[in-house]
Amino acid sequence: MKEKIQELNARNERHVHQLSHLGEELEVKGVNVDRIIKDLSDFQVAVPSWALGAGGTRFGRFRIGGEPSNLEEKIHDVGIINDLTGTADAISLHIPWDIPDDPSATKQQAESLGLKFDAVNSNTFQDQPNQAHSYKFGSLCNENKSVRDQAIEHNSEVIDIGNALGSKAITVWLADGSSFPGQANFRRTLGHTADSLAQIYQRMPDDWSMFIEYKPYEPNFYHTVIQDWGTSFLLANETGDRAYTLVDLGHHLPNTNIENIVSTLIYQGKLGGFHFNDSKYGDDDLTVGSIKPYQLFLIFNELIYGMNNNVADNPALAWMIDASHNLKDPIEDLMQSLDAILVARAKALLIDQEKLKVAQLNQDVVECQQILQDAYRTDVRPLVAESRIKVGAALDPIHAYRSLEIRNNLIAKRGMDSSASGL
């Protein structure tokens, strides 16, 4: 595949022309173009194991053909994405949707494709066959200690599996909450959750981190125990130094200022992970950058500024795509997301922070907006393409994927009716 990608990249006169034109423009503005290209080549985002199959809604799921039906095939597909984009060198497992039968063989397969394992995700939002207790009324928050213990034990098993694969973090997302006023006691459910998280934390190896995800609603529609970043932050602080908040773009009420949240968390050294997706209404899990690309750019501005002014020693972030829907070929969809992420990051890297600071101190509101929008309106696609070419990936991943007829090859191997575990 790598050789075929090189062959496709070789016919690139248009790219060379566009890059040199943009490079000249940016050099005049004092931008270090090579530094930006290197930053983009180095930037890596994990792909979740559940995103390789056909997504769906509760109304249906439609076959795509050649869907990976086991973990090995899912890892293979992440390998394809990484070869084509050079931006996806890690996979994030969701347990129990994807449990490796033989962790060392799974680790080897991933390594042979240049992949590693990022944060592992536990799942106490669904009951599993033969499970002793149900999570219908919550897991880590449950009033019944036996249910909480079972959920804590599950998280502990997830840590063990992750450890065998070389992961260094667990992401906990809870569906826990209630759908009717009076159904649950807010204080007790939050207290149980804090206590359960503390017990899971104790089971982590010393070099592991815990990411605590929040979400305002769904599947519960009246109250969610970890409803917002403030609650997650409070729990992370109570749980321990290596417990952090995880921001999922889709887990906010409409119009929430996510860039402000990101800035505050980095200021406190408590932003651990980030789930990319896009949405119009709720947790829509649409392709990154398909609905609100300007918001993504503003978020990247805060992420970059925060990490360049890292007063509280915020650790490097765990980046992951958390999107899945039922219309596109998931490999193409993930590559569109990765591209949108790099485009937003490249634009944010163009912001002249020194000039912006001067304009802010002068309270020159117009100039502040000019600086941001000058960066945002720059067509950075040649920089993104060059960052891929530099690492042997495809100049245009979707074009390469289609020219190489990869989906048809997968269908020939796996058939039209194969189906992925998970969502």
DSSP H helices, 203-292, are 229-239, 258-267
State the DSSP code for 94: B
Looking at the Cβ atoms of 197 and 404, the one nearer to Mn ion is: 197
Looking at the Cβ atoms of 322 and 396, the one nearer to ligand PSV is: 322
CA pseudo-torsion sign 223, 229, 230, 234? positive
371: tokens are 């600086």
Q: Which of 77, 248, 329, 386 binds ligand PSV (CB under 6 A)?
A: 248
Q: Which of 67, 259, 285, 322 binds Mn ion (CB under 5 A)?
A: 322
Helix (H) or strand (E) holding 92: strand 90-92
Q: Which of 121, 139, 287, 295 binds ligand PSV (CB under 6 A)?
A: 121
Contact track, ligand PSV, 161-190, x by CB under 6 A? ------------x-----------------
Nearest to 389 by CA among 270, 381, 189: 381
Helix (H) or strand (E) holding 4: helix 2-10
Q: How far is CA 153 from CA 87, 170, 198, in A?
A: 34, 14, 13
Which part of the chain contacts Mn ion (CB under 5 A), choosing from 26-34, 153-161, 181-189, 247-255?
247-255
Q: Which of 67, 89, 322, 339 binds ligand PSV (CB under 6 A)?
A: 322
Minimum separation from the CB atom of position 165 to ligand PSV (A): 17
Q: Which of 76, 252, 275, 388 binds Mn ion (CB under 5 A)?
A: 275
223 counts as binding Mn ion under rule CB under 5 A: no
329 counts as binding Mn ion under rule CB under 5 A: no
Q: Which of 248, 302, 333, 386 binds Mn ion (CB under 5 A)?
A: 248
Looking at the Cβ atoms of 50 and 297, the one nearer to Mn ion is: 50
Nearest to 196 by CA among 143, 159, 125, 121: 143
Reduced to 3 states, what is the DSSP secondary structure of residue 122? coil
Nearest to 54 by CA among 369, 391, 329: 329
Partner interacting with residue 121 (select from ligand PSV, Mn ion, none; CB below 5-8 Å by kind): ligand PSV
Looking at the Cβ atoms of 66 and 250, the one nearer to ligand PSV is: 250
State the DSSP code for 309: T
Looking at the Cβ atoms of 143 and 218, the one nearer to Mn ion is: 218
Minimum separation from the CB atom of position 322 to Mn ion (A): 4
289: left (phi over 0), alpha (psi -120 to 50) or beta: left
Helix (H) or strand (E) holding 338: helix 330-349
283 counts as binding ligand PSV under rule CB under 6 A: yes
* Site of interaction with ligand PSV (CB under 6 A): 121, 173, 213, 215, 248, 275, 283, 322
